[in-house]
Structure formats: C-alpha cells, structure tokens
Structure 1
C-alpha cells in the first residue's frame, strides 16, 4: 500500500511540472481559416471510432476500412492488445491538420512523414495518395500500442517505466516506421547513400542524425534475419528488463554492440553488390546557390531550355527563383510563407508550370487555406493573381496543355482525380470520377493526338464514376493514357507492375514518352510508345428481319434458327497498348525529370543526404534501350517473397544477385504481393505484357476471356457474403448464349481489370447508417495535486491590503483539474490552492472557447486572507482581505507565432476588520472597498522550440499596456455608480532569445521592463529569483512616499534579497548559459535527475526607480528625510547621498529534476554601488528564468 501511495505522489508531482513556468505567459496559436470544423461526424467500427467533417466523408470511409483492414496485422506483429477503441481524427489535408486545437497546450510539434498521436487519438490527413494515408494510420496505431506496451497501462507501470525506461529515439521511431510501411525503394536508396557516403563510422552515429531511417532499417534487418516474431520478443524483454542491451542479449543471443556491427556489415555488402554495372550520373551539373541547404522542390525547365524555375523552402518560408542555365545568374520572382519549425512543412505548395510560350510561369500556392493561381509574365515582370475555382480542395500537380488550359491532379470531395482547368473562365472539365488515386498528370502528344499520361492505382481502365465500396485504393501506381482528341470511354494502360511504381511521366516527341519506374529496385527512366493490337474478334449477325446481334466471336447460341441468319461479319477489335523499355541504369534514384519540349534538353534531379550532396544535371534524352539490368537485392527478395506468398510458402527465398533475364523486365509467373498485401480485388486475365513484340500480333483466339470469373464493384449496398473472397474458378468453355438472353457488348465500354491475388482477406463493410453527428462531450484531461508558489492572475496585490509590508506567495498545495472536449475546442479548468499556513485559500475557474479563430477566455478568482494586528485593546484585531475578480479575454492569432490579445478585468478589493471584542467593534476602521475595471492589450510572439527540459531554441516576446479605472457601485439602499478621477496605466515588455551553442547547450537572454503611470501606481520590488522558496526582504531600501495602488515583483535578479531596488518602473536583463552536463557523456541516461541535470552560469543587471529616470532626485533611493514619522516636526532633515541605481549580479547554479519538480539552485554575488556583496544561496522552483 505504501508503495502505491508513493507512486501516486510521484506521478502527481510529475504531472504538476507543466505548471512551473515563469510568471510571464507566451504561447503559440492555432489559426482557423474556415468554419468547416463546426460540424463533425463519427463512425464507430469494431476497433475504432473515426471522426471527420465537411467534405471528408469519403476520406473518413477510407480510413475506417483501412484501419480495420490492417488492425489484425499490427496486433500480430506487436503481440499486444488494448481493450479500448482507438480514436482516429481525419483531416482533409495538412493545412487543416495544422488548424486543429488538439495538443495546443503542448508544442504539438509534428514532423513531415510522422503521424501525430495524443493519448489514444490518432491524427491523419489526406495528400492524394491512399497508400500514404494507410501509412499514417498504421503508424498511429503502432504509436498508441507502443506507448501502452513499453510504458504500461496502469498507474504503477506508467510511473516505473517513465522513470526507468529511456529508449533511444531510433528504437521506438524506427519500429513505428517499420510497422507503418514496408521497406521501400526510397528508403533503400537513402540508406545506400548514407552508408556509401562514409561520413558515419557506425550505427549509433547514423542513428543519431537519421533516427527514423536507420531505426526502420534495423527492424527490417531483424525481421529479415531472425524472423517477424523476434520483433515482439525483443520489445517484450526490453520492457521487462528496462534495458535495450538486456533485450538484445536474451532474444538474439548476441550483445547489443555486436548486433549493431552485424547490421552495418550486412548492408555494406548488400549495397556493394547493388552497385555492380550501374552508372553514376555524369551530365552537365546545374549549380544552385543553396548554402543554407534549404529543401529544393519543383524543378521546371523552360520550353526553350534556357531557364530553370525552382523553389527553395526554408521550413515553410519559400522563395521562387528563375536561373539562367548558361550564366548561372538567378532572380527571385516570388516569396511567401514563414518559418515554422514546430509543425510539418507543406512541400506540396507552391507548384510551378511553364506556359508553352515560354514567356509566362504559373505559380499555384496557398494562402489562408485558399489555393491561388499566379501567372508571372517574364517580359513585363507583372503578376496576375486570382483564386482557384472553389471546388478544388488541394492540387498536387499542374501542367499546361496549351496556353489556355491546364491539366490538374487535385482533390475534390475526398477523391484525387484529373481535371482540365481553364484559367480565363475558371471552368473545369473532369476526366476521372472515382476513388482511385490519380496523380502526376502531364499532357503528351502521341501518334498525332493530344492526351494525358498519369499515374494511378486503379485496377481497371474504365472511366465509370465509382464510389468507395469493397475495394481499397492501396496498390502500387501504374501509368494510364487518356486520349483528349477522341475522348474515349476507357483508358489505355501503359504499365502493369504489381511490385513496382511508375510515376512522373513526360512527353518526348510525337511518338515517345518517358516515366520513372522502380522495377529494378532503383528509380530509373523507361521510355515507350503506343501501338495498335487486336484485342479480340467480334461477330456481327444480321437476321433476315433486320435484327442486328453483336457478340464475342467465341460465343455461340443454344437455340437459333439458322435460316433466319442473313449475314455474319467477323471483325477484329483494335486497341492500343504500350511498348516500354528501360532507358537508364543509374546507381541511385532518379527522383525527378523534366524535358524542354523545343530543344530536347533533359533536367534530372538526384537527391542526396542533404541539399549539398544532391545533384541536378542537364543532358539529352535517348529513346534507345540500355543493356539488361539486374534488380537490387531488396527488389529480388521482395519478388521472391511475393512468389512464395502466392504459392503458400511463408519462408522467403534466399537473397541472390542473379540477373533478371535477357528480357529487360519480365513479369513474374504469378501475380506477386507485397509484404503488406492489398485487399481482395477481382480476378481477371493479365492484359499487359512487359516484353512486347515490335509489331502488333493477333491474340490467339483460343485464349478466351473468362467472363464468368469477373468480380465487379457495385455502386449499391451489397450483402455481407459478397465482401468475402471467392474461390478460384476453373476455366470455362466458350459462352453459349440463348437468343432471348443475348446482349450487345460495346467494344469501347469494355474495361480492363488487372490481375490480383484471389486469396486476400475481405475489406470491412462500411454501413452509412452508422454515421452519427458528434456531440460535444467533456472528459478529464488531468488532475494534479502538487506544491506551487506561482502568482495567479498577474500577481497584483492591493497595497492597502498589505499594510504590514509586501507578502510573498508562500509554498502552497494546489489541486487543479482540467476538462476538455474531444477536439479541445473547449477547456474548463478549476482549482483550489491552500497555503501551508492555511491562510489565504484561493479558488479559480476558467473556461476557454477556441473553436474559431477568435479565441475567448473567461475566468473568476477569489482569495481570502486574515491577519492579526495590534488594536485599541489587549485583544488583537483581526483584519480580513478579500479579492474577487472576473476576466474576459479575446485572442486573435495573426499566425501560429503571433497574436493580439485583449483582457478585460473587473476586480473588487475589500479590507474589513472583524469584531473580536467590543473595542474592535466600536473603534476599528470602516471597511475599505475598492472596485476597478481594467483593460489589458498585448502583442505576443513565440516561435520557441523545446530541445530538452528547460532548453529551447528561438525567440519569444510580449509587449503590453494596461489601464485600470476605479469606480464605486452600490445597490443598497439605492443604485449608485461613481466614476472616480484618475486611472492606473502600465506599459511593459518581456523579450527572450535562446541561442544554441552546440547540439545540447544554449545561451539564454532576457530583457524586460515596465512603467506604471497615472493617479495610481504599481510598486515593483526588484530582487531574488522567480518562485523563491525561502524569500527574504531588504528593509533598508526606502520606498516612495506616495501610496501605490498595487505591489508586485520584478524578477529575476539573483544574488540579492527582494527590494534591492523599487519604484514604479523597472528594467531588467538576464543572460544564462545552460549545459546539460551528463548528456555529453551519454544520450541514454536512465535517471531523470542526471538526464536533466544542468550546470548554469548567469549574469543579471537591473534597476527600478520612481520619477523620470533612475538618477533623478525624485528617486527615494538617494534621498532620505528625517524624522520619518508624520505629524508636527519643528526640524526636518533631508539627506541626499549616492547609491548607484543599477545593480548587477553574477554566479553559478544548477538545475535538476527531483520528484517531478525542476529545482533551481543559484549561488550568486551581488554588485551594488561598485561593491561586491556576500554571496547568497537561493533555491527556487520552475522553468526558464
């Protein structure tokens, strides 16, 4: 029992750490640019509760089905269970995700490519690719499960593991990535570049810089060498032993360092083999000035090949440049955005496209969640900006078809489709209307016709509008061609590669086109062209009565009077197919390509570890095939595993390096599946052959199409049985159709269905009737019970209520509870604080409404204190001080870092004497009641980012002004309102900057000041640290003769007592170096005390004064009057002497986390009037200064 009580106290103490801030509050913002979040819908499935809003219905349905589809797999990998249903919150795009209030109390830092979670809530967004949406869902589920698995699910486990289990970042994040998606071509290429660079000596060096990539590669290695069950075993024993080293030794049988060494050797050998017979890029290098290594996106070469447009993105603040290819001179033509290191950077925007004339560059960018199209005229240097049509939620690619129209890949109502957009009229023509992902659309001219090539994960070539049902768009991308000249009812499938992706098509000439494919395990270029072939034969039967019957040539009739037949015509059905060959064999991924249409100059981009190691080269494009190339080991293992899975053998084939074959890219004997199998799709015959003949060939009529073995997706609700996989059907003979059942088949309307495995599990059936509106419900976010001595509600104490001198806030017991709704739009917080003296209990209740851009804040506060003082009898008098205030605040965010805030305050201070005896009843002063109304205006900037506890980077500042007006309102015996003359005014600032010295230590600077003016004043006491536990007051420094309205502290000035200087104005400066000493020896320190221990050195300077300036004669610091008593004095003396108003201090200190509290220990020497004072040891609580 004692152990449980101890653990409870430790947890409560640690939960209270977040409240230990410096008295000045800053904070970042969420900016809501629309009101789509007003109405949310939810759907509860077997294991999840999914929420979406507005036009996110289709995305929400995809999330429900994908989450349920992958749920069992994730559970099997981790071998863990959670009884509670997980909550998935769906956003239509990344911009909307950034507007969410969830996690606003924390920094809510998010990184591109990582799924954000909070408790059991998972946040996902749609970027046009359902495969990436699937990755986010899987990573989110894995993150929640790992939190429960590693840190436990009950109070004792959470506290013990939070204290004792300190895992390296690569361990956890790498495992999340491993579960989120299988090892892929991009990651394989990035790790290959990382290892071959030679910049890092071992695993831990690489993992320190690239924890996600290297961590994923480690778990991939464990699964490949030791098997998938080893993953969960390693997790379990790591948690049980609270040590990564012990987990490795017990599960793998080899020490931790040996395993990491073997990992490196494994990949070094693997990549050495991959590089055999491959070509290193060696074209004309295009140098781009990028010293700060900003992310390079949207490389677009002009039609004449003389200029290159590109974007340099500095974590949100981007610039668009035009660079001359020959001279290297560049010009910045557009810039927008702001740096945001807190949230994931949106690299989707801006999008560039050259007008075929070469004299205009189109720029599609987003501002305030609205896509805007800017057309920049290169000759006139003019811009024409207009919003994009409102139907487009987000655009992913943009290219000119002709000077008057653009082809877009964009999302409308949750589906990414292909559109033709006419800027002059803002009208659109929709090409595809289905749930399959259609990306990378580009216009091409093939065989004298204009068409569109695009990448899609659709299994059919049909263009019938289709909604999401029992098929999921989570397969790889193939290329499809749409003929704009004839506008047929179906597409031409250019590639069909179940284990590869084809992306970024471009047109070469009037015959050929090119695209990027990772069929060899490395993204390289392939070229192709279209040709005609005979798909099948059809017969047209004309009867004597004029009836016309059209059917497949292999079909016959069960009953038909042959005498009725007049004529039978058999004719071929001609279709188009693609002939493709590999055209490059680079040793690293070709990530991007662009062609100058007029000159044939090719622009290629090869990514490196960073901007300095990336390569941009110019060359000419060739349509001739390269010699046969071998696949990388990664791709060969993937193919072998797919073949083994299809045949029922679960063991992967050994890794080999044999050449593929003499054919460039032969298709596997059977359709292969990835390690993450796609859902069940319809079986159908394969219609694409990778190795095609040079001339069209007639298809053998004996290879009939099994029309009885198709499975089509219905647009209507189906019975549950149709969601189950169908067993393979034997080959059927030619169809025999009676005359009354005969139907006419249109050759053009027949769509092609890709081969898919028939043995996959069914997809969760979505029932629209289960969709219900979300109703606001509150839950307890936290309950804290801790020691606290922060000043609440600006810390202004009435001077009249403290005639015995200023009283610092004693160490008190604070009980606080917080309630939030699901989306954290509404926050209710209430608490009570009980001083250790049991005198001065405080109560407060706050409510925040953050649903829309203009945030609202409501608060009430009450404090009651009682004091004893000498009275007119032997019995001490009892004085009661009561403060009641109410606040109403508004906050308008300018962006995530800047906001304007206004707070109105209604305050009542009452001082009254209690009747302790008859004398006190008759002689005590009458109650003194003061009522004030105030208004505070603030500008706040905060772009700081937490690097560790009490160590941050960035700048934050606050500039404010405040006004108070005294009034008197009485209701008894009659209504009376009296506005008193005069007011209290305040103006001040507080600015802080945090500068990194190296990876771990920082320099922190602070400058603050304030001045009060008007009839009432605030008296500032300077000296001591913030939240001083055992404060002492300097009574030798005189205070101004005027009676102030309020008194408060101006910290920190360490090395001195409180009141080393005072006045109605102050200026303060602090500088501090913070060094986490023990983290220089190891990053994997288990003890929170040593992990967060910091050695500091500080220098403080400040002054406070009354009057016009610190050296004014009005400053009581340098003037004393004797005697000080009031009344008749025949002789008074006024003594003027010199005290330097500016005081300094310097010293050393330490910061350490103890029982959840950051304890601050400062040992400082004060310097007053050029004299060093005796050193002082001061202990305080809280973060920062």
Structure 2
C-alpha cells in the first residue's frame, strides 16, 4: 500500500466548554447567544435592525433573507468556534464555489461600540457579497469565475461602510504614510490590506464625493474592470488614482503636523519597532522614581510574551504562551499587567486552557506568588492595585456587562462596584481633598442613566465618572466629571492633589487633558429596604404603595449615605503630532507613563506632572484635517431637524457617523467648564436627550421578537464541480508489484467531478458527499462523509465506493488481456484530538474490500 493524498494540518479549534445556544428572532435577523449572553443578544438585535436601513441605502442593495448573527461572550470563546475552519474544501485546486451564507460572527470585548461596529461590518459583508456574487448558485459560480477584485478593495469597502472614518484610523494612516516605509500603494496594501482598502474608499469620499464610493464599486462589477470604473469617476487610470492617493495623503498629513509637538518633555524609557507580525502593548514602567525597570507584552507570530526589563539590558520572560503562526489577530484584553504602588511586585493575568490565570512576581525575592485562577467573571479588561498590594481594582465582564470590581487576592474574593448595562472601563483609585473614590470611563448618558435592558450604551461617547467606593449600599452616587464635545474620554487617573487627567481626541488626535476637581457636601440620602426593593428618597405616596405591595407595616431597614456636589474644569495639556496610545499612572508620586507611535516605532515615556501647563492652561489644540470635517458636518447638521426617528420608534439626536450626540443644557454648562467661551445655546437640541430614559429604546422591538432554543439547521456550504484529476478522498492504492503506471482512484486521467459540503449553522456537524466518473462513463467513484466537531475530540465516518474497469495488473501473464472490473469499498473512522491550534493527534482506522 502507498498513500497518495494530501494531509490536513495546521488548523485546529479547541472547545473548552459546551455551548447551549438560544436565539432571538426579529423581522430581519436571528441573534444566537449562549449562557450569559442574553443582554448582548438584546443589544445586537436592536442595533442590527436599527443599522440595516442605513447600510442598505448606502450599498443600494437590500437584505434578501433573514441573516444569522452568532454572538460569543468573549474573544477567547470566539476563537474556539469551528466557523470558517473549512479543512474539507480548502485543498481543492479548482472549480470551487464558496456559497454566500447570511452569517455574521461577532464577539464582545467589553466595549459595546466595538460590538456595534462588528454588527455593521457583518451586515455590510452580507450585502456586499450578495451584491458582487449574487444570491443563487448560478450567479455565484459565474461571478466568482469572472469577477476578480482585489481582496483589499472589497474588505476595505466593507470596513468603510461599517465605519466611514475615525480618529484611530486617521492616526494609523498617518503613521503608515509619514513613516516612509512604503514606496507605493501596492506595497502599502500588501503590508496592511485592511487599512489600505479602507483608506482608499475614504480617499474617494474626500476627493470625489461620497456618492461615488458605491458607484465606483458598481462600475467595477459592471465592467469587470477597475480601469474602466476609474476612468468614469476619476478620469484617469486606476494605477494613477493609487499614485494620487499616496501624494494626497502625504501632503495632507505634512500640513497637519505643523505647530504640533513630536515628543513630550520627559524621560524616554524604551523604543521598540513593530512589524506586521510583531507588536508591543501594555507598557508598564516601574512607579519607583529611581527605578529604570519596565514591563510590556510582546506579540510575535501568534506567541504572547510578558517581559520584565531591569537595568536596561536584563530581560526576563515571566510568561509565554500561544502557538507560532503567521495568521490570526491579537487578543484585545490579555495579558494584563500592573505594578503595585511601591514597584516591588508585578501582577500578570492571562487566559489559557479556558481559564483566567494570574500570578504576582516578587522582584525582591524573584519568585511568583499567588498562582491562582480568577473565577466569577467572563473577562478581565484591566486591573491595577489600589492602596495596598492585596487589593486589585478591575474592569471585568460578567454576563455581557462591563462593570467595576475589587478583588481581594489572598481571600480570592470579588466585590462588584457597578452593575448596569453600560461599559465601565479604565478604573483607578483617586483621593482628592474631602473626596475619594474610583474614577473610570463610561458610555452612560449621565449619572442617572436608564438601567433598562433596552438601553443602547454604544449610542453615547465615553466620559469620566467618579463613584464612592466606601459606600457599601446597593445604590451609590456616581458623579459625571467630563462632558466631551467630540470623541471619547478614556484612561482617567489622578494627576496631583487637585487634578485628574484623561485622554481625549477632541481635536482628532488623542491628547492628555487635565481636570481641576472640587467638591462640597450636599446632605444625606436615605435608603429604605422593603422586600426586594430599595427606595432612595421616596415620596410619601411611593413609600406607602411599596409597603402595601409587600404587605408590610414598616420598612425592613433604613440606611443613609453622604451625597456630594462635585464640579470640574477641564483643559488640554498636550498638543501631540500623533495620538497617545496608552497611559498609566506610575505610583503616587506624581508620575505617569505614555506610549506613542511614530511610523513603525513605539516610544514609552516616564513623565512627571506638568505643573507649568496646569498653572498656565495655555495649550491651544488645532483640529486635525479629519476633525475639521466633523466640525463642518456638525454645523450643517445643527441647521436641520435635531430629532429623528430610528427603526423601532426611538427618538434620538440627529448626528452623522462618527459625531457623538450632544446636549446643550444650562445645568451641564454650570457643572462642566472648559477654557473655551460658551457657545450659543441650541434651544431645539436641549430638548432631545435630557432625561434618563432617553437612551433606552421603547421595548416594542424586543416585545415583537421571539425566543427559541437552537435546533440543528443545515445549509450548503460549498459546491465543487468541473473537470479535475484530483484525488476524491483519502485512501490507499492497490500495490502493483513495482510496475507502473500508478492508477489514482478510478484509473482515468481526467474525470467529471461533483462534490458538495453541507454544515449546520455553527459548522460543528458536516456532511460531505461526492460523485465522480470518467469520460468512458464506466469508471465511477462516490463517497459520503460525516464529521462531528462539537467537542474537543473530533470524530467522523467515511464510506467510499469505486469501480474500475480493466485494472492494470489485475491478472498476470497471458490472462492480463482479459476484461476485469475492480469494485472497492472503504469504511473509515477518523479521530482527532487537538493539542493546540496547530498540533493534534490524528488516527484513522479503516476496513477495505476489493
């Protein structure tokens, strides 16, 4: 026997737990979720229905049938999915038609804005694929054969539809162009295809008007030629348009760099060069002012490494995990690292084997302590030490909600500080005169935002909030400290005794801002506990009705907590040429760290408090080219109707993509002050979202949706048809005694072949069948295979039958001229146990008759 077929290798998915799926069904979508993902599913179906009309109008194509959105609770759950594995068809050399399925796979990384973006990308991809390739087998086969658009072009278009442009994309493009690495656009697109594709369509938007974006793709599809489409819209060849793109971006960003600072005033600790397969993030400098130690996370070819660098040249690897591969993206959350306030301990948290693992490295004794698993939460987004080395302050995801927790390391105990639908990120402990608490970034509308499960937290920008951590009651005071006009406010931390600092892209570039904080006592609030309800300062009528409902004469208990009246004054203190990517507080001695990127290099700085700028407040931020466009669009929008109705009946502020909805109420102006003069009040805008319920969609959509348990649902995944000489299925050929020729399968050099794959929605169960016959119509092959990938141990069964007429060397001697017919039956069982994403143990046992 001799094996003559290719072997599948290098792609495994490892299931660490069992998923029990349910789904919400709305008029246009099925949203599938598993345990702990109900809130995410409610958010996704509302967003999908809300965004569908806008995307359909832009692409000028409608959704033909209900789409399926599969929601994973975390990135790590998402990486265990079998969707897209496709080993059974990837080895085919030709004639393959991959069917367009209305399927979207998304995951939650702790930020609902990113989840909304994924939903928009998924809808855009479904509509674009159906537009380009058609919706039936004949159209798909012909279009896939004739339409040959670059992948960067189509993927970039999908990304553009999902998000027109953003400050992050603008900064990435600026670094790519100004770094001087790329000779031409093709070099750029080969290295960073998604960014290049998205930037190309933004360039068409900027230079040749937004309405020509979809028209350009339509002409390319119509003429099956990019040059013809380019000549129609840009009046020049496609290659010349790409040259113009590079020149246009270079001129734009050179102009934008004027009057901006390239580097902060401070000590440069480290410079690292990034590549497409290597990146560095979560830089952490030792908070001890006399120490030059720092730690960071390195991602290189699929492997994560946490490194500690001491005395500039002493490198120590604290943890290393992952598998070496050139494909895949970076985990958005792990590993997490943080120094304790004294700089003698380093916290490391990472995800492996389906669990969240942590340890603390003691620099003095050079040992790892508290090696343990953190349970009770689905993800840990960020962590840092509080006042001592035993308590961690963390932003975690639990049941699809990002909230603030404290964690007692020795007792292995979690305490939840916030509990609502909004995303609470970047927590740090602060202590101001007469006030201490936890400062964090959140996308809630205000301090008293709606807690309804129909609220859409991605609708509003991130602002900075303060919560009292010493208040142990169920209701805590949350104070809003910033009111950003454009973009988001992130990474808050204490700067000095009276100031906090945060990062905002108000001018289109992420710069450091500061806020002067003052507070005064504002009385006591009373909490009444009656049954399962908690009443805060209730009216007499509300108090009596609650007692009556619970059939009680008096409340179960009463408590009080101090209420404060907080106010802030915010202003910028840096004016960088490129965005500040990361920043951390470095101890309690007036130090912060900053990470910025210029071209392909990342720089880590360790800085002291800029007391001069805090006193003078003289930094004037010039808006970037992109932000100038947003400001112009905003001014145009203010001249139109402010309140519009979204699908589902919700009234929301009118805003363009990328422009956060804002309010202009007088109370907010008194509480939040800036160094800019007050602008005229828009009396129409002030009536739009001033109430706590404004961010909640009326529950009509969810009321009309239906909840089902998932049952196996199969669809055709691919079709392979045509003339081929491929081996149809793994098997062994009969030994021919050393004489040739070796006959593959049915003995014909060329065959007519047909093969189809059918899979369930999650691609955990697959049926594969094929039929092939030679030109003589006498020699035939057929097979049927079943594969089960539901658990970590994968298994399958295959039956194969073949008949070959006049098989060579069937007879020997003078009888070799006689007619013969060889019928082969193979019964084969295959078992696979994956060790990691690229290694597995495989076994096949078969029974064969000839």
TM-score between both structures, scaled by the size of structure 1: 0.60
Say whether 1:895 aligns with 2:833.
no
CA contact 1:351–1:398 (8 Å) conserved in 2: yes
1:506 aligned residue: 493
The equivalent position to 2:511 in structure 1, one of 512, 524, 540, is: 524
Distance, in Å, in 2 between the alignment partners of 1:674 and 1:68 is: 18
Distance, in Å, in 2 between the alignment partners of 1:876 and 1:205 is: 61
Distance, in Å, in 1 between the alignment partners of 2:170 and 2:726 is: 52
Distance, in Å, in 2 between the alignment partners of 1:108 and 1:845 is: 14
Q: 1:491 to 1:158 in 2, by over 3 A?
A: same
Alignment of 1:822-837 (within 5 A): 822-837=761-776
Distance, in Å, in 2 between the alignment partners of 1:52 and 1:122 is: 12
Tell which structure's C-alpha radius of gyration is larger: 1
Aligned-residue offset at 1:468:
2.0
1:102 aligned residue: 83
The equivalent position to 1:607 in structure 2, one of 597, 600, 603, is: 597
Distance, in Å, in 1 between the alignment partners of 2:46 and 2:17 is: 27
SS in 2 for 1:581: strand
What do residues 496-542 of structure 1 show as CA deviations (whole Å, max 9, x unaligned)? 1142211111222333221111112111111123213799999xxxx
Q: 1:794 to 1:509 in 2, by over 3 A?
A: same
Alignment of 1:210-609 (within 5 A): 210-256=192-238, 259-260=241-242, 262-282=244-264, 283-288=266-271, 294-305=278-289, 306=291, 307-324=293-310, 327-401=312-386, 402-447=388-433, 449-462=435-448, 466-486=451-471, 489-532=476-519, 575-609=565-599
Distance, in Å, in 1 between the alignment partners of 2:206 and 2:385 is: 46
Q: 1:405 to 1:80 in 2, by over 3 A?
A: same
Aligned-residue offset at 1:426:
1.8
The equivalent position to 2:781 in structure 1, one of 842, 858, 870, is: 842
Distance, in Å, in 2 between the alignment partners of 1:412 and 1:203 is: 43
Aligned-residue offset at 1:708:
13
Say whether 1:82 aligns with 2:59.
no
Unaligned runs of 5+ in 1: 1-20, 110-115, 539-548, 552-571, 651-669, 695-702, 724-762, 910-1185
Aligned-residue offset at 1:831:
2.9
Distance, in Å, in 1 between the alignment partners of 2:637 and 2:839 is: 55
Q: 1:399 to 1:251 in 2, by over 3 A?
A: same
Aligned-residue offset at 1:582:
1.2
CA contact 1:393–1:413 (8 Å) conserved in 2: yes
Q: 1:767 to 1:341 in 2, by over 3 A?
A: farther
Query: Size of the alignment, in residue pairs?
Result: 775
The equivalent position to 1:633 in structure 2, one of 625, 633, 657, is: 625
1:28 aligned residue: 10
Please say which of residues 453-462 and 632-641 is displaced more in the overlay. Answer: 632-641
The equivalent position to 2:127 in structure 1, one of 145, 152, 155, is: 145
What do residues 37-87 of structure 1 show as CA deviations (whole Å, max 9, x unaligned)? 2x2112222222221222121111111111111111111111112322222
Alignment of 1:1014-1033 (within 5 A): none
What do residues 252-287 of structure 1 show as CA deviations (whole Å, max 9, x unaligned)? 445545544554454444334432321120533223
Aligned-residue offset at 1:603:
2.2
Aligned-residue offset at 1:477:
0.9
Say whether 1:62 aligns with 2:54.
no
CA contact 1:301–1:595 (8 Å) conserved in 2: no
Distance, in Å, in 1 between the alignment partners of 2:771 and 2:152 is: 42
1:1130 aligned residue: none
Alignment of 1:121-200 (within 5 A): 121-154=103-136, 157-200=139-182
Aligned-residue offset at 1:870:
9.0
Aligned-residue offset at 1:372:
0.8
What do residues 526-574 of structure 1 show as CA deviations (whole Å, max 9, x unaligned)? 1123213799999xxxxxxxxxx999xxxxxxxxxxxxxxxxxxxx996
Distance, in Å, in 1 between the alignment partners of 2:653 and 2:343 is: 45
Q: 1:69 to 1:276 in 2, by over 3 A?
A: same
The equivalent position to 2:827 in structure 1, one of 886, 892, 895, is: 886
Q: 1:707 to 1:580 in 2, by over 3 A?
A: closer
Bigger proportion of residues as helix = 2
Structure of higher RCO (CA pairs closer than 8 Å, 6+ residues apart): 2
Distance, in Å, in 1 between the alignment partners of 2:255 and 2:811 is: 93
CA contact 2:344–2:364 (8 Å) conserved in 1: yes
1:771 aligned residue: 707
CA contact 1:29–1:899 (8 Å) conserved in 2: no
TM-score between both structures, scaled by the size of structure 2: 0.82
Distance, in Å, in 1 between the alignment partners of 2:632 and 2:811 is: 94
Aligned-residue offset at 1:179:
1.3
CA contact 2:201–2:213 (8 Å) conserved in 1: yes
Q: 1:107 to 1:68 in 2, by over 3 A?
A: farther
Aligned-residue offset at 1:318:
1.9
SS in 2 for 1:900: strand
Q: 1:443 to 1:463 in 2, by over 3 A?
A: farther
Distance, in Å, in 2 between the alignment partners of 1:671 and 1:64 is: 21
The equivalent position to 2:639 in structure 1, one of 633, 647, 660, is: 647
Distance, in Å, in 2 between the alignment partners of 1:790 and 1:590 is: 54
Distance, in Å, in 2 between the alignment partners of 1:585 and 1:904 is: 67
Q: 1:529 to 1:710 in 2, by over 3 A?
A: closer
Distance, in Å, in 2 between the alignment partners of 1:782 and 1:117 is: 5
Aligned-residue offset at 1:787:
3.7
Aligned-residue offset at 1:338:
2.0
The equivalent position to 1:72 in structure 2, one of 53, 58, 61, is: 53
SS in 2 for 1:851: coil
SS in 2 for 1:614: strand
Q: 1:602 to 1:626 in 2, by over 3 A?
A: farther
Alignment of 1:952-1031 (within 5 A): none
Distance, in Å, in 2 between the alignment partners of 1:24 and 1:588 is: 49
Aligned-residue offset at 1:769:
6.0
CA contact 2:56–2:63 (8 Å) conserved in 1: no
Distance, in Å, in 1 between the alignment partners of 2:407 and 2:4 is: 54
Aligned-residue offset at 1:586:
1.4
Unaligned runs of 5+ in 2: 91-97, 526-536, 540-561, 643-651, 676-682
SS in 2 for 1:473: helix
Alignment of 1:691-710 (within 5 A): 692=673
CA contact 1:372–1:385 (8 Å) conserved in 2: no
CA contact 2:109–2:332 (8 Å) conserved in 1: no
CA contact 1:462–1:489 (8 Å) conserved in 2: no
1:858 aligned residue: 797
Q: 1:764 to 1:605 in 2, by over 3 A?
A: farther
Aligned-residue offset at 1:192:
2.3
Aligned-residue offset at 1:594:
2.5
CA contact 1:462–1:490 (8 Å) conserved in 2: no
Distance, in Å, in 2 between the alignment partners of 1:511 and 1:328 is: 38
Aligned-residue offset at 1:629:
2.5
Distance, in Å, in 2 between the alignment partners of 1:188 and 1:387 is: 41
Distance, in Å, in 2 between the alignment partners of 1:107 and 1:608 is: 43
CA contact 2:68–2:103 (8 Å) conserved in 1: yes
Please say which of residues 596-605 and 631-640 is displaced more in the overlay. Answer: 596-605
SS in 2 for 1:771: strand
The equivalent position to 2:608 in structure 1, one of 591, 614, 620, is: 620
